[in-house]
Amino acid sequence: MASGAGNAVVEWHQRPPNPKNPVVFFDVTIGTIPAGRIKMELFADIAPKTAENFRQFCTGEYRKAGIPIGYKGCQFLRVIKDFMIQAGDFVKGDGSGCVSIYGSKFEDENFVAKHSGPGLLSMANSGPNTNGCQFFITCSKCDWLDNKHVVFGRVLGEGLLVVRKIENVATGPNNRPKLACVIAECGEIYLPHSSTRRVQQLILWPPSLMHPLPLTQGRCATSGRLKKERRTTLEASLSFNARRYLNCPGPL
C-alpha cells in the first residue's frame, strides 16, 4: 500500500499517477487480430533501476551489435486466469531466457510497492536477485508475492481491458495461450504536460505492420508518429493463489 494525503491509504494499482514517471505502451495482437493498447506507468520514483530496464526494452534503446532488442515481437507465454499474464522472454522464447540492460540479471531493487490488485507490473524471477527481461501483469490481488517479486509499474486506463482479453485466451500445456498473444509494437509515450520528462526520440526497430489504435500523444518505437489515446478508468478485484507459475526456469 502507498500512503496518500493525511491518513488516507491508496492501493498501488489505484495510485495517483506521477507525471514525472515514464509511460510506455504495448500494441497487442491476439492471433492475427489487433487487441488494443496496454499503456503503463513505470514507477521510476519507487524502483528506478527496474523501471529503466523495462523502459529500454520497450523503446529499443538497448542494443546488441548495434541491433535494437527488446519486447517488440515478444509473446505472452504464460496466462493464468484470475492470476497473471507473463511475457518478456525475447531471448529464447520459451520462458527460460534471462537478460537485462545491466547484464545477465540484476538484484531485487526493493519491495516497496505491493501486489495490491490487478494491472500491476512485476518482475518474474527464479529466486532472489535474478531479475532480467521477464515480467508479469497481475489480474488480481496477489499479496502472497509481496517481498518476493519487485513491483515496478501499473497498467493505465483502458489497457486493463486488453489485459483481460489476454487473460481469457484459452490455454494449453504449461498455461501457454492457444492463440499467439504478441507485443506487435512497443515504445514510450510523450506526455506534453510533463515538462520535466525527456521526449523519447525515434528508435529504429525493424519495420513491421503498424496497427492504428485510438491513442495520448506519443511516439511509437517504430515510426515515431504521434497518436492520440482515450483515457478511462477500470478497476477490478479478484483473488487467486499460484506463486509457482512466476518462476523462470533459470538465467542464461
Mean pLDDT check: name the lowest of 1-5, 114-118, 242-246.
242-246
pLDDT greater than 80 at residue 245:
no
Mean pLDDT check: name the lowest of 9-18, 94-103, 172-181.
9-18
Q: What is the pTM of this model?
A: 0.77
pLDDT the model gives residue 51: 98
pLDDT the model gives residue 10: 64
pLDDT the model gives residue 193: 54
Mean pLDDT check: name the lowest of 35-49, 115-129, 148-162, 195-209.
195-209
- Reduce the DSSP state of residue 21 to 3 states and report it: coil
First to last CA, the chain: 34
Mean pLDDT of 234-243: 29
Cell numbers placing 236: 477490478
pLDDT the model gives residue 9: 60
pLDDT the model gives residue 191: 66
Mean pLDDT of the chain: 80
Residues 10-65: tens digit of each pLDDT: 688 888 899 999 999 999 999 999 999 999 999 999 999 999 999 999 999 999 88
Mean pLDDT of 187-197: 65
Residue of 251 and 76 predicted with greater confidence: 76
Catalytically annotated residues: 78, 83, 86, 125, 136, 145, 149
Cell numbers placing 4: 496518500
Q: How far apart are CA 48 and CA 45, in angstroms?
A: 6
pLDDT the model gives residue 232: 28
pLDDT greater than 80 at residue 207:
no
Residue 116: exposed, middle, or buried by beta-carbon count in 10 A (0-12, 13-18, 19+)? buried
pLDDT the model gives residue 200: 42
For each of the domains in the chain, give its residue range(s) and CATH number, in order of start: 18-188 (2.40.100.10)
DSSP 8-state class, residue 195? T
Q: Are the CB atoms for 147 and 111 separated by under 8 Å?
A: yes
Phi, psi of 211 (to 5 degrees): -110, 105
DSSP 8-state class, residue 196? T
Mean pLDDT check: name the lowest of 40-54, 76-90, 224-238.
224-238
Q: How far apart are CA 150 and CA 145, in angstroms?
A: 9
Q: Is 237 left (phi over 0), alpha (psi -120 to 50) or beta?
A: beta
What residues contact 59, with CB distance under 8 A and at least 6 apart? 24, 70, 186, 187, 188, 200, 203, 221
Strand partners, 187: 25
